[in-house]
Amino acid sequence: MKSEKSSSHISRDMLLWCLFTVLLAGAQQNFVFAGAEILQQKIFYDLKGQRHALAEYINKGASKGKWLVVMIWANECHVCNREVKQYMDFHTRNKKSTAVVLGISINGWSGRDKARSFIRRHKVNFNNILIEPQDLNGFYQALTGRQFRGTPTILMFARDGEFKGHQAGAVPTALIAKYIKNNDGK
């Protein structure tokens, strides 16, 4: 009985790994056509109300020379509430060498108190910015070539700032670490 469970668990993880890798690889093609201009648009807010572009967080500051893993989340998203802990642990383990995490709340400026509540409740240890819900799909479509599907969604940028891909839904950080290890051209 135990070996059946292990086999099933390995198969599920292998399936997730394959799907994650294929979707990330496909996203690189779309980004070439979208261009980097969406990354320069100041459509994000920090929790103090200052406007920012995503480009300010890619290969700059804390992420300089590191991969940037972006977790798009919402306060009321049950999966986000469940998954944020593993992203905090991933950030803690990797922030000095390999990767940092950046959160993007889709609660927008008017929902900043909800975003603050989420950050406080979970004691989130990585930076977070806000995007207005009406700006989200345009941003996501320009970046990925696809419609935004829901939270959580993960975006990945390599050490050099190149957009590597996206994945909607819960993505175990072990798969992200494996992807980075296999694709890190240092």
- Burial of residue 171, with CB atoms counted within 10 A of its CB: 0-12 exposed, 13-18 middle, 19 or more buried: buried
Domain with 129, as residue range(s), is: 2-183
pLDDT digits (tens, 9 = 90+) for 140-174: 999 999 999 999 999 999 999 999 999 999 999 99
pLDDT tier, 35 (very low <50, low <70, confident <90, very high otherwise)? very low
Residue with tokens 């207005």: 132
- The CATH number of the domain holding residue 20 is 3.40.30.10
Q: Give residue 11's pLDDT.
A: 55
Tell me the residue type at 174. Answer: A
Determine the pLDDT at residue 20: 57
Q: What is the mean pLDDT of residues 120-136?
A: 97
* Overall domain count for the chain: 1
Phi/psi for 117 (5° steps) reads -60, -45
pLDDT of residue 185: 78
Q: To which H or E segment does residue 32 belong?
A: helix 2-34
pLDDT value, residue 7 = 45
Q: Which of 100, 104, 123 is closest to 47 using CA atoms?
A: 104
Q: Which residues contact 90 (CB under 8 A, 6 or more apart)?
A: 69, 99, 101, 173, 176, 177
Average of per-residue pLDDT values in the chain? 86
Say how far apart CA 32 and CA 25 lie, in whole Å.
12
